[in-house]
Amino acid sequence: MRVLVDTSAYSAFMRGHPELKLALQGAEEIYLSPIVLGELQAGFRRGKHRARNEKGLDEFLDSPRVELIPILDSTAVRYAEILTYLGGAGNPIPTNHVWIAASAMEHGLRVVTTDKHFQEVPQILADCWEPWP
């Protein structure tokens, strides 16, 4: 299985979410979007444990199964398709989630998340786990 981890899933994974740990351990390939990295870095800067969180992210990214995927012109086309669909359906979701979904759509990845917004996007597959404390 090839997965794109969103910010909520990464955070829950790092806090020890048991089901997410199993899901990511079983994934053949794990991808992150620059959008997720930006959200994480912003969160680290607002939190009390920036250095520890950045170290954990660096270790996660050092795994041979983890790769950062680029945002390309073709990602922007998919972003527009998803955003137009959601607007027409009356189901807007946060802009960053649309970008993450567009990346998943482009690369044929399953989104791993604890955020139900991704279930509004029929152009992608999403595994939505319960949030973890």
pLDDT tens sequence across 3-20: 999 999 999 999 999 999
Block residue for tokens 């740990």: 21
Please compute the mean of the pLDDT values over residues 76-99 and round it to a whole number: 95
The residue segments making up the domain with residue 114 are: 2-128
d(CA 33, CA 3): 11
CATH number for position 19:
3.40.50.1010
Q: What Cα–Cα distance (Å) separates residue 22 from each residue in 19, 25, 47, 114, 118?
A: 5, 5, 27, 15, 21
Strand bridging mode 110-113 / 66-68: unpaired
Domain assignment of residue 17, yes or no: yes
Domain assignment of residue 19, yes or no: yes
Please compute the mean of the pLDDT values over residues 72-100 and round it to a whole number: 95
Domain assignment of residue 58, yes or no: yes
Domain assignment of residue 50, yes or no: yes
Residue 91's pLDDT band (boundaries 50, 70, 90)?
Answer: confident
For the chain, how many structural domains are there in total? 1
Domain assignment of residue 73, yes or no: yes
**pTM of the predicted protein model:** 0.94
Domain assignment of residue 133, yes or no: no
